Structure 1
Amino acid sequence: MTEGKKETVLAEEISSDQVKAVLEKYDTDSKVRKYSNKSMVILLSVLGILYSLFHLYITFNPIPTLLMRSIHLLFAMGLVFLIYPTFNKQRRDKIPFYDWILFALSIGACGYLFVEYQDIVSTRGGIPNTVDIIVAIMAVLLVLETARRVTGWILPILALVFLSYPFFSHQGWLPRMMMTREFDLGDIFGQLFLKTEGLFSTAIGASVQFIFLFILFGAFLSKSGMGQFFNDLALALAGHKQGGPAKVSVISSAFMGSINGSAVANVVGTGAFTIPLMKKIGYKKDFAGAVEASASIGGQILPPVMGASAFIMAETTGISYGTIALAAIIPALLYFLGVIMQVHFRAGRDGLKGIPKPDLPRVKEVLLDKGHLIIPLVALVALLGSGMPVAHAAFWTIVLTVVVAAVRKHTRMSFKDILFALEDGARQSLSTVIACGVVGIIIGVVNLTSFGSTLTSAITTLGSGSLFLTLFLTMIASIILGMGLPSIPAYIITATMVAPALADFGVPLLVAHMFVFYFGIFANITPPVALASFAAAGLSGGSPMKTGAVSVRLALAGFIVPYLFVYAPAMLLIDPTGLPMNATEFPWASIPDILSVTISSILGVVGIGAALEGYFKTYMNVITRIVLAAGALLLIVPEFYTDVIGGLIVVGIFVFNTLQNNREENLAKEVVE
């Protein structure tokens, strides 16, 4: 892209001050201290770089699991006390003395595990003594405080509610199904600190093995200019189309969301560029913000990376990454088709054009300029497909990113850039690491008290033997549990507590986990706690609640598709027939089954988009929209007769609407003549 063209397209970009203000309001990762003391800046940089190097080292040189996970979590806690202020309005250019104490306690708890490790695993057999309990209580309180600083109040309060349960779960005033035996401090805090079932559970295990490396990978990609490449490529491909900037938003946000896994950060990063463009061509501010929000959360369901959630799902279920990534393709594409169709029909209805081609880059220019940066992503897919361990694949793609970026001068990373990427990756990981640690408290309590089976039983009972009603209750529970949480801890919580409720209905393991995964993510755009939508409204100047409502409408396909793949698993490319619910390997569905469910779903999603916007080729009246919506829903129901009836309705209305548009155009020509 030439400089002149670039300046034309980016002329309306949102100011960095506004971006910063939105980030600090809705993204707790951005509420950090800013030090004027050079020594403090250097110290934090060194600690961040060492933290990243530690993870690169243990990729090929692992240490005992408990120690590895404790360093990962407790060192991150120490960094949080140095980087994040105690309160939002606190002075941010210096560290109060008590945060130095909290930093030392975090590192001390890690050191304690190292010193006592042999006694804990061999002599004491995991049974805590008095000092163990004191250190464990201290570690739990510290992780709750760090979570409050980096994620807000919701997650620590949820963890405290769960943590309180084993203290009174033996009381007679509780419902019988919720009662347990009596637990003492040793039972509770030994579970949380001395075993890999609490703070250092599989959530932290996945974080240390997979999540951190992919966050670091994203930091290196960002430093190489990948974000600008995605924006430029999306502009070149779709910027000149009807409603082009909205389609650019969907495409670029999908790519970036798949890599970075943070809905709010993705909204702000790409929305600062795309939202002004959408408003400039005529999209209303609430709609423009909603497009960015719905596209940004969708990136986390898009293979190959899926915001690192695919690797967590693989760790949790035992299903291979390759199976999960392949299964996620069709539902993700249907979701984005639903969003793009609505922005396309809205543009047609309101007469919104794209950006003039002379103001846009050309695809060839973009690919020649930065196309080489996509090589690491292609290599990642190839390495994972070859069966290489996920951590090793992530390590080598980080190395490859540095090598590939060096091909062109303007993408080449200097030694200073590499150090910055190491530090930035460490900082970006902190909120996820801490959230996974707090989720470990919930997992630890659930495992200790068997509360998960109690909740599963409650959901199943409320479902009254109806699969649909149980799915609906599971959806509500997933959205509530996912409110205000990053997508990864939201998935881990819902997978632990809610997904097992579907087992009684024979729903396959992969399908159940995909179902709760989708709705845990969509909590980010579902009012009243719709952080992604609220952040987008902060950039667009729209109403947060209206933006959230429009986001839900744009994402409607995403709320329907999970039900579809429960009833028609061929959408996930699998055939679970005759296999046990907890199977981790599936035969692939037949090509006719896959084509049937895909084609009918595509037509149904397009029909829903046209019905919601009241436009296909020309306007539709209310009755036509209602009939079209009914036909589209029939297409989505996975039955032959419903597909035939729904298909006839949708195609018939589309044909009628097209003919009506032709008549209107001919009449307009006659009037002009």
Structure 2
Amino acid sequence: MDRNESALSKEEQALAAEKDAQAILQKYDRESNFRENIGMWAWVVMFLGVALTVFHLYTGYFGTLPSQKQGALHLGTALGLIFLLFPRVKGQQLFQKSVPWYDVVLAFAAMYITYYKVINFDELLMGVTWGYSEYDTYLSVAGIVLLLEATRRTVGLPIVLVALVMIGYAMFGNYIPTQLLSHQGYDFDDVATKLWYRDSGVFGTPIQISAKYIYLFLFFGVLLIHTRIGQFFNDLAFGLTGRFTGGTAKAAVVASALQGMVSGSSVGNTVASGSFTIPMMKNAGFKPEFAAGTEASASTGGQIMPPIMGAAAFIMMEYLGVSYAVVMAAAIIPAILYFLGIFIGTHFEAKRLRIVGLPKSELPNVGILMKQYGYMLLPLFVITGTVMIGYTPQRAAIMGILTAFLVSMVRKETRMGFRKIIYVLEQGARVALPVIAAVATAGIIAGVVSMTGLGAKFATSIIALSGGVLFLALFFTMIACLVLGMGLPTTANYVVTATVAAPALINGFDLSPIAVHMFVFYFGIVADITPPVCLAAYAGAGIARANPFQSGVTAVKLAIAAFIIPYIFIYNPILVMDNVTVVPLILAVATAILGMVAVSSSMIGFFMSKAKAWERVVLFAAGICLIMPDFVISLIGLAVLAGIWILQKPRKDDDGPGLKEVTA
């Protein structure tokens, strides 16, 4: 009886933890604010969701439709699902028992207006030459309004406000007094039809890439999650690192890196992984703010971790006109340095607090784990290999999905019956909805930039503002990325900055295109952990019961590599595998790793022993010198680091806290 009560208690605790995680997701992640009780409309949602996923699987294997048709079916079905699933006001989903009539009307209106592009495809193509009918114009206006409302519901108001400002700029640019930003101005009808019917607006490159590649990779991630690969990643991470100093935090970093490269969601991964890792870090003796910051910074880095990365990586591929293999290769070294910085930071914090690892007896056996579940890694190897030998990301995703499905059949607990397959197909659509809305709205912004020539005007402005000094131009671009990232999802942020800021840096300073695009990509991502609006850190703080702002500050300290490395690969593109030669690459990586050790120790305040204030400053300077792409400067940094090591090594840190016992 006692055993049953104990088991029931553990089960109740697990359910309570799951409810808490869902509540945190709904609070900090708008993507989770969907209706759960929708009555008979659940059948419609299931049909549309399954149909949308099957459509992408079919076109991914047999070949996509013309881009405008593919994009219209992709966006139209997504808009219908959004109005059926996401309430008008946040929180309504908690008490609504069905879908309000007005959302049903909006759902089918959105699908009709968007499918209209497919049904009248040839006639609308002629509209470029002969103009559009009054009915076409009305539909384009309604389509844009519905898209903006759907985006507000799934992603939030800031990106909608940016899009509205850009539309206003397109219409009234001729009234702007300064010649630097003024343009001829466009009629309302002209703006609406160009943004809705041309291939440089809503249905431009971002939505085309979403319809071709992003959806398939998002579905691949969903499929992997339902093969319980997340639990395998957690067990593997704890088996590899749990016994070392601060093992719980190190395991959290490794597990979040593995899970993040599959999910690609900063907040979602923080909650999913953090529900397990954050309590263990707290039990080990780490402060709640540090546990939350560790999980948030590691989860955020999943978007820069090959082979899958975040959705923006696929748009980068199209903007640069390179293969996805090139983007993956460019991301490898910066991603390693990013996670290495967090890993080292957790090590120094554990040394400072004298936190030991978990007993070996309480950890999974890596050998047995790999023997039993190592096959779960096969889909990731298939995707990577398929891309590297020259196939398109679309074909790679299809092969990865097929492999993941076959892998799920190996064990009874992961084997999917008909109902589970239908459920996973529907979940693939649900996960994609916020991304689809965001990239379509980002297309409005990119379309206005193209229509008005704002990109060239911005390039002139940033060069003038920086006085032709590259570092200042990079700094201003970084600030723009971080500010936009406070309200825009990563993908939309990248589209805007890649359209406006990247050309200014590439053309104005003759920089490596892939280095510049990686630069804006990085700073769009780290906005998720940069105060004051750091949603991933807030989500982690919710689980840890920690101060949200302090958690964000800690996350920035741990992820300091993300604020330094992008500057370095601008000055030395070898870190993004541009113009690579073997010996300089090895030296650059080796000195950068040592530099991350120095910088991380400076952030934490511990190297060989507790660092004094002036030692932290010197360690930071030494780290920057080591990361700098100059051999002589790196040697100076190495000498300084060695000096601090010699100085601190014999020092006894008697005032530190006592050895902490680790509780499971």
Determine if the TM-score, normalized by the shorter chain, exceeds 0.5.
yes
Residues 32, 92 of structure 1: 8 Å contact kept: no
Gap change, CA 1:107 and 1:636, over 3 Å in 2: same
Uncovered stretches (5+) of structure 1, i.e. residues with no partner: 576-588, 669-673
In structure 2, the partner of 1:340 is: 343
1:276 has 2:279 as partner: yes
- In 2 relative to 1, CA 11–106 (structure 1 residues): closer, same or farther, beyond 3 Å? closer
Q: Deviations over 1:307-339 (max 9, x none)?
A: 243322111111221122112111111111111
1:56 is aligned to 2:57: yes
Which residue is equivalent to 1:409? 412
Please give the residue correspondences for 1:149-548 in structure 2 after superposition, counting only pairs within 5 Å: 149-171=153-175, 173-503=176-506, 504-548=508-552
CA distance in 1: counterparts of 2:42 and 2:491, whole angstroms: 30
Q: Is the 8 A contact 1:372 1:405 kept in 2?
A: no
Counterpart check, 1:657 vs 2:609? no
1:65 equivalent among 47, 64, 67: 67
Q: Does residue 88 in structure 1 map to residue 90 in structure 2?
A: yes
The answer to whether the Cα contact below 8 Å between 1:127 and 1:186 also exists between their aligned partners in 2 is: no
Amino acid at match of 2:641: V
CA distance in 2, matches of 1:13, 1:591: 52
Count the aligned residue pairs.
647
Alpha-carbon spacing, 1:400–1:456, altered in 2? closer, same or farther (3 Å): same
Letter in 2 for 1:476: I
Amino acid in structure 2 at the alignment position of 1:167: M
The residue type paired with residue 117 of structure 2 is: L
- Aligned counterpart, 1:565: 569
Q: Match of 2:53, as an amino acid?
A: S
Larger deviation, residues 633-642 vs 326-335: 633-642
2:123 alignment counterpart: 119
Identical columns (%): 37
Match of 1:556 in 2: 560
Q: Structure 2: how far apart are the matches of 1:465 and 1:264?
A: 38
Structure 1 contact 405–411 (Cα < 8 Å) conserved: yes
- Residue range with higher mean Cα deviation, 613-622 or 269-278: 613-622
2:46 maps to which residue?
45
Aligned to 1:78: 80
Letter in 1 for 2:70: M
Q: Counterparts of 1:643 and 1:126 in 2: how far apart (Å)?
A: 63
Q: Which SS does the other structure have where 1:177 is aligned? A: coil
Q: Give the partner amino acid of 1:201.
A: G
Is residue 16 of structure 1 aligned with residue 18 of structure 2?
A: yes
The TM-score with structure 2 as length reference comes to 0.94
Which deviations, in whole Å up to 9, do the C-alpha atoms of 1:268-326 show, x marking residues without a partner? Answer: 11000000000011111111100011001111111111124332211111122112211
1:432 deviates by 0.2
Contact 2:33 2:91 in 1 (8 A): no
Structure 2 CA distance for aligned equivalents of residues 174 and 521 of structure 1: 35
Following TM superposition, by how much is the alpha carbon of 1:573 offset from its aligned partner in structure 2, in angstroms? 2.2
- Distance 1:656-1:14 versus aligned 2 partners, 3 A rule: farther
Question: Take 2:41 and 2:441, find their aligned partners in 1: how far apart are those partners?
Answer: 28
Distance 1:126 1:641 in 2: 64
Structure 2 regions of 5+ residues with no counterpart?
Answer: 1-5, 660-664
Question: Which amino acid counterpart does residue 468 of structure 2 have in structure 1?
Answer: G
2: CA distance, partners of 1:36 / 1:309: 32
* Alignment partners' CA distance in 1, 2:492 and 2:470: 26
- Retained in 1: the 8 A contact 2:53–2:426? yes
Kept in 2, the 8 Å contact 1:220–1:418? The answer is no
Instruction: State whether residues 319 and 510 of structure 1, in contact with CA within 8 Å, keep that contact through their aligned partners in structure 2.
Output: no
Partner of 1:604: 595
Aligned to 2:33: 31
Is the 8 Å Cα contact of residues 484 and 531 (structure 1) preserved in structure 2? no
Return the TM-score normalized by structure 1: 0.93
Which residue, out of 613, 619, 622, partners 1:622? Answer: 613
CA RMSD of aligned residues (A): 2.2
Q: In structure 2, do the counterparts of structure 1 residues 497 and 446 end up closer, same or farther at CA, with 3 Å as the change threshold?
A: same
How far 1:123 moved relative to its partner?
6.3
Shift of 1:36: 5.8
Deviation digits for residues 125-146 of structure 1, max 9, x if unmatched?
3732211111000000000000
Shift of 1:11: 8.1
Deviation of residue 664 (structure 1)?
12
Amino acid at match of 1:133: T
CA drift of 1:650 comes to 0.5
Q: Partners of 2:502 and 2:91 in 1: how far apart?
A: 40
2:193 and 2:552 map into 1 onto residues whose CA distance is: 42
Secondary structure of residue in 2 paired with 1:250: helix
SS at match of 1:231: helix
- SS at 2:578 equivalent: coil
CA distance, structure 2, for counterparts of residue 613 and residue 340 of structure 1:
12
Distance in 2 separating the partners of 1:42 and 1:655: 69
Separation of aligned partners in 2, 1:165 and 1:36: 40
2:180 partner SS: helix
SS at 1:498's partner residue? Answer: helix
Q: Is the 8 A contact 1:262 1:486 kept in 2?
A: no
Provide Cα deviations, 1:110-129, integer angstroms capped at 9, x if missing partner: 23223322111136637322
